[in-house]
Amino acid sequence: MKKNLVTAVLMTIATTILLGIIYPLLVTGIARVLFPHKANGQLIVRDGKVIGSRIIGQAFTGAAYFHPRPSAAGNGYDAANSGGTNLGPTNQKLIDRVKQDAALLQAENPGKPIPIDLVTTSGSGLDPHITPAAAEFQIPRVARERGVGPDALARLVAKHTEGRQWGFLGEPRVNVLELNLDLDANYPQQKTASK
């Protein structure tokens, strides 16, 4: 009995050190050497300041910006609270929120069908992408606020539309942060709008 207990304790200590310390440090070290940008969170830096990550969404609420899909992660895009709402399609709270969001979007673009990702959250609540249709839906509002022609913004959206991964996985998508950064660089705001 004593021999089995000692063996169990030693195995627990050995596997904890091997799999809980050595293995994660080794994998992290290899990743930092081979893929430094990806291993460090794909941070976007401007003028020496980190302004976001390519792989985690952030809120843009000003009318002069393209908006991301809604987030259910904490107060919005909070990586510490990643996750969906777990509200089912018949949940009244979800139905009311979607109706309210849809009404605001319909007022923005009367008669145009609303892309589903503008009213639904992603599974993680951190999705940095929207569909090209969701970006195109927002072009009239952004064009009006920026004083830019819709065709110029359509070209900007097309420039930031990423295809399917390896040509067959996933769907085409637009990274909202990168699109908005390019928007600010090419078409500075004419009016005051909040991010």
Residue 194 is predicted with a pLDDT of: 47
**Where along the chain do its domains lie?**
1-40, 41-186
Residue 15 is predicted with a pLDDT of: 96
**pLDDT-flagged residues of the chain (< 70):** 74, 84, 190-195
Residue 130 is predicted with a pLDDT of: 95
Reference 195, options 62, 19, 9; nearest CA is: 62
Residue 190 is predicted with a pLDDT of: 66
Cα–Cα distance for residue pair 40/70, rounded to 1 Å: 25
Q: What are phi and psi of 96, to 5 degrees?
A: -65, -40
Residue 148 is predicted with a pLDDT of: 92
CB contact set of 51 (below 8 Å; sequence gap of 6+):
44, 45, 177, 181
Place of tokens 């627990």: 12
